Amino acid sequence: MAAPAAAQSPNPDIDIQCSPSNIPIDVYPGSTRVGITYCTATNPTGYSETVRITITSGGLAFAGPGSVTVGATSSITFEVTVRGDLRMPETTRVVSIAGTVETFNGAPNPNPVQKTANVMVVVKQFSRLQVEASEPFKQLRPKVDYYFEFKVYNQGNALDKFNIEVDNRDELEEAGFQISLPLISTEIDAQAPAQKVNVLTRTPKIQGWTDNYYQLQFKATSDFSVRTEGIPNYQVQMVTVYVRGVYLPGFEIIPTLSMLAFAAAIAYRRMDEEEIELIEEV
């Protein structure tokens, strides 16, 4: 687009404008991690100009032209691309796009003046977590208290709060368990060491003579995902609890006594058979 003659500058000049001025970038695993802005270099003079483009990216990888040629009283649009690192922390960076007229109508510019446009790159927060059980399997007697320990890791890129619950609590309490959560939420820094969370359980008082297996389902949910991402991001880690059915005092020796009685019966039978053989021989 040509500028009106009255608006034309007698000296080499350039104007740089970029849009959008805010560039959001996702850096979660699987994302492109790329943001783009479009910059327009406008030449208000009657000269054809060669403009050197200088990009300062605030430590981000970038791509853009090193120079552009802009005709007299016209403009040209070019693309600037920035890229974040995988899982980089939530942050903002200023990217500067500067233009300097190096030549006009083929002659060197004696008084180069740099014109700059700034854009803001916003590295967005994302949620990610991992849950581990310290003891995936545990054997317990009826009516005993036990702390199950779980580890919650924040694998996102910013501080996040994690809501804690036993997902099948109603089912376990109906079976006779008592469940207590000393902690219902915890804040964890990004990539910090695991936060240990305990679940206090009391096994059923009346178990009977049969053995039973139960699943305790520990669930941690990212609060950021619920508030901002629109889809709850959670993990469930299961622990198998084996509750022994026989719990009368001394029940451990019952199998041993049974084996002794069985062995004595066999020995007695052999003695009877030997006595009968002796009588027949006489």
Q: Which residues contact 117 (CB under 8 A, 6 or more apart)?
A: 16, 17, 18, 39, 96, 97, 98
Residues 243, 175: Cα–Cα separation, whole Å: 12
Residues 184, 203: Cα–Cα separation, whole Å: 21
178 pLDDT above the threshold of 90: yes
Look at residues 159, 156, 86, 82 and name the one whose alpha carbon lies nearest to residue 122. 82
Residue 201 DSSP one-character state? E
Which three-class secondary structure state does DSSP give residue 266? helix
Q: What's the whole-model pTM score?
A: 0.76
Residue 162, amino acid: F
Helix locations, the chain, DSSP H: 169-174, 223-224, 254-281
Look at residues 259, 164, 244, 182 and name the one whose alpha carbon lies nearest to residue 208. 244
pLDDT tens by residue, 128-147: 999 999 999 999 999 999 99
Q: Which residues contact 178 (CB under 8 A, 6 or more apart)?
A: 201, 202
How would you label 175-189 residue by residue, b for 16+ Cβ within 10 Å and e otherwise? ebbebeeeeeebebe
Q: Which residue has the higher pLDDT, 172 or 5?
A: 172
pLDDT at position 244, please? 87
Residues 42, 266: Cα–Cα separation, whole Å: 108
Region 117-136: mean pLDDT is 98
262 pLDDT above the threshold of 50: no
Length of the chain in terms of residues written:
282
Residues 131, 127: Cα–Cα separation, whole Å: 14
Residues 28, 156: Cα–Cα separation, whole Å: 8
User: How many other C-beta atoms are found inside a 10 Å radius of the C-beta of residue 69?
Assistant: 12
Look at residues 87, 121, 82, 101 and name the one whose alpha carbon lies nearest to residue 41. 101
Q: Which residues contact 266 (CB under 8 A, 6 or more apart)?
A: none
Residues 185, 229: Cα–Cα separation, whole Å: 19
Look at residues 194, 73, 65 and name the one whose alpha carbon lies nearest to residue 129. 194
Query: What are 9's two structure tokens?
Result: 């500058």
Residues 262, 265: Cα–Cα separation, whole Å: 5
pLDDT at position 209, please? 73
Query: What are 35's two structure tokens?
Result: 């943001």
Can you name the residues that pair with 107 across neighbouring β-strands?
A: 104
What is the pLDDT confidence band of residue 8, given thresholds at 50, 70 and 90? low
pLDDT tens by residue, 30-61: 999 999 999 999 999 999 999 999 999 999 99
